[in-house]
Amino acid sequence: MPRVASLNMLLETTGTDYLAELYGQVIENVSLGAASVAIKNYELSGDPESGSVEAKRFANATAKNYGTARTAGHGDGVVARPVPVLINQDKEIVEELQNKDIRLYGVDGVLDRRAANHAQVMISTLDTDFFAVAVSEGTEFTPTEAAVADQVEECIEAVEGTKNAFVDGVPRAMISVVATPTVYGAIRKYLQSTTRHNFATGEEDEFLEYNGCRVFKSVHLPVNGDSKCQFCVMADGSIAQPVVSDGYQAERVPQTNAFSVDLFFSYGTKCVTPDLIKYVMSK
């Protein structure tokens, strides 16, 4: 991609191509950095551009004795509970660039830095709302164990053992743990102090799994007064959060020597399976 030498070039083909590429990088970084993106519900019907989509939660089938499942020539109807998800949160990032702002780093240098920040802002916005819904719709869990690592295991078992009309237990491969850096660090120290190396490791001594469940670290778990969510355990897909975003747009600010660079995104957050979310608050 040719260097964008001036703000005026943002309105030319070279500039618009550069902004499109930059937007792609922002979306990629959000996808990689937001815990909510990794564990949210993707089984949605409808067009997000219309302002709403729908998730469905299907009830368990019933196993009957051979030859008895059909009544009057018909089997059981599929029972599904619809969960509408409104895309009702509209956000924008609008920043103005002055010519004096680009003298040191150049247009693309400044925008590269701002795009990295914009991705972090989107991550913070989406994760904050996602986990706020998890705590407001899920069930607070009270551990009996003293050690943090054991408390997390207790909470995992509570989700794993859930049984009702819609679910008959949850495989650990479908459960995720999202923890504060403090809790994440405590689990890591526990794993490092034992000979049970049954976890995958990533960069910077991070771990990706704990006792068969994926683990994410987040600074966006909710705070309620003096109490803070320490960790949240949920089945993947428990919360839907469809996101619609538009690419970067650039325009000259009237009667100034500045250009505005805008990024718009909309989303909605809705709990689909509240019974499969447990969380632990600090006391």
Domains with residue ranges and CATH for the chain: 7-60+75-281 (3.90.1690)
pLDDT confidence band for 283 (50 / 70 / 90): confident
Beta bridge partners of 246: 264
Whole-model pTM: value is 0.89
Q: Distance between CA atoms of 236 and 233, rounded to whole angstroms?
A: 9
The answer to whether residues 112 and 269 touch, using CB atoms and an 8 Å cutoff, is: no
Q: Distance between CA atoms of 278 and 95, rounded to whole angstroms?
A: 39
pLDDT tens track for 192-224 = 887 555 555 554 567 889 999 999 999 999 998
Residue 64: per-residue pLDDT? 65
pLDDT tens track for 132-152 = 999 999 999 999 999 999 999
Residue with tokens 């897909």: 237
Closest alpha carbon to 269 in 235, 231, 243, 230: 243
Q: Distance between CA atoms of 90 and 252, rounded to whole angstroms?
A: 23
Q: What is the tally of helices (H) and strands (E) in the chain?
A: 5, 15
